[in-house]
Amino acid sequence: MNSRKKIPVLILLLVTTLFYGQQKPDSEKIQSLKVAFITERLDLTRKEAQKFWPIYNEYEEKREELRQRERNQIRAKIKDADGLSEKEAQDLLKQYIVFEEDEEALDKSFLEEVSKEISAKKTLLLLRSEEEFKRQLIRQYRNRRSGNNR
């Protein structure tokens, strides 16, 4: 009888572990694909790559931290905007604007720094490559959801 009670708990634990265990490798896989995509598009020399990737990786980390803070501090409250007073909404809007300004400052700083290590043309190619990668990722996601595996 005691072991019968443990079985559903073990199954739940196993399913939870499998579900959450698969999410991290997917994000790591996407990140690896993004790195390969950008590497191919920019055609960096060895010297450029040695300078570029540490700057890019640091930028990506800072950008993710900023977005995570925004999600935690603002996005959840925006979903419940109907329940906010006007004063709370004004305060939240001010916080949102600060996050947008912080993100813009981070982007500007990154572009200035990276363009010192790779050419302006390759910096523009980076911007285009990131957009192309995002579009490709979204397209693949939509195809999977609709059942098409193109």
pLDDT, tens digit (0-9, with 9 covering 90-100), for 73-117: 888 888 888 888 999 999 999 999 999 999 999 999 999 999 999
Given a cut of 80, is residue 140 above it in pLDDT? yes
Count of CB atoms situated within 10 Å of the CB of 93: 14
- Contacts of residue 70, Cβ cutoff 8 Å, sequence gap at least 6: 96, 99
SS (H, E, C) the chain: CHHHHHHHHHHHHHHHHHHHHHHHHHHHHHHHHHHHHHHHHHCCCHHHHHHHHHHHHHHHHHHHHHHHHHHHHHHHHHHCHHHCCHHHHHHHHHHHHHHHHHHHHHHHHHHHHHHHHCCHHHHHHHHHHHHHHHHHHHHHHHHHHHCCCC
Confidence at 29, pLDDT banded by 50, 70, 90? confident
| Predicted structure pTM score | 0.72
CA distances, 77 to each of 70, 73, 81 (Å): 10, 7, 6
State the average pLDDT for the chain.
Answer: 84
